[in-house]
Amino acid sequence: EIPAFVATKTEEDVVEAVLQESVDTFAENETIAEKEEIIEPVFETTVVPESAEVEIAPVMTEVAVEEPKPEPEMQVIVLNVHCAGEEPFIGTKLFDSLQQNGLIYGEMNIFHRHVDLSGNGKVLFSVANMMQPGTLEHGDPAEFSTKGISFFMTLPCYGEADQNFNLMLRIAQQVADDMGGNVLDDQRNLMTPDRLASYRRQIVEFNAANA
């Protein structure tokens, strides 16, 4: 859009002079045109579209897509229950104690504690044989014996890890009492308050790192 031209007084005089000169020139040319052969000018007509359509290129917007977090590296927390002397645990009493504490014999030939005490739902923790090959497989419980068993849970796990650990610890202590054994840590040393605090700290740090 061309801005409106506002003439000052001096500029008005100049504009008037220019217009007058144009009129005089036009009059002179008209006189000459009468004497000469009139040549009709040919004008090229340029068609200007009423409204030109402007093609607008689409704007490409980059959308930041969050990559899925990698699966956390699994950790295992282990508590052992070992016989106090040379006499091993006998299957009859051992399996009865495990079952009385809500553990069910099943997959991989070991015992499991499920969310549902009937044996359905997710596994909270499991119990295996401390001795090779690690299974608690048995035909006749009276013929089965072992020096110890291992309670273990994994991180991450179903539910609240700290609550699962507390339940596993409580049952391990109960089974140890039933069998006259001792609760050991994962290095098979007697459990201490400091080692229990270390287990709990491990759970807290794992949860914080994978929140």
113-169 residue pLDDT tens: 999 988 889 999 999 999 999 999 999 999 999 999 999 999 999 999 999 999 999
Q: What pLDDT was estimated at residue 92?
A: 98
177-202 residue pLDDT tens: 999 999 999 999 999 999 999 999 99
Q: What are the E-state strand segments in the chain?
A: 75-83, 89-90, 104-105, 111-114, 123-129, 145-146, 148-155, 181-184
Pair 83, 175: CB distance under 8 Å = no
The C-alpha atoms of residue 203 and residue 164 are separated, in whole angstroms, by 11
The model's confidence at residue 12, banded by pLDDT at 50, 70 and 90, is very low
Would residue 65 count as lying in a domain?
Answer: no
Q: What is the CATH classification number for the domain harbouring 158?
A: 3.30.1400.10
Least Cα distance to 185 among 176, 177, 195, 174 occurs for 195
Q: Is the pLDDT higher at 60 or at 112?
A: 112
Would residue 64 count as lying in a domain?
Answer: no
Would residue 63 count as lying in a domain?
Answer: no
The C-alpha atoms of residue 166 and residue 62 are separated, in whole angstroms, by 48
The C-alpha atoms of residue 145 and residue 181 are separated, in whole angstroms, by 14
- Quote the domain boundaries for residue 147: 75-209
Q: What pLDDT was estimated at residue 4?
A: 41
Please state whether the peptide bond connecting residue 133 to the residue before it is cis, i.e. omega within 30 degrees of 0.
yes
Q: Is the pLDDT higher at 148 or at 4?
A: 148
| Number of domains making up the chain | 1
Entry pTM: 0.68
Would residue 203 count as lying in a domain?
Answer: yes
Would residue 44 count as lying in a domain?
Answer: no
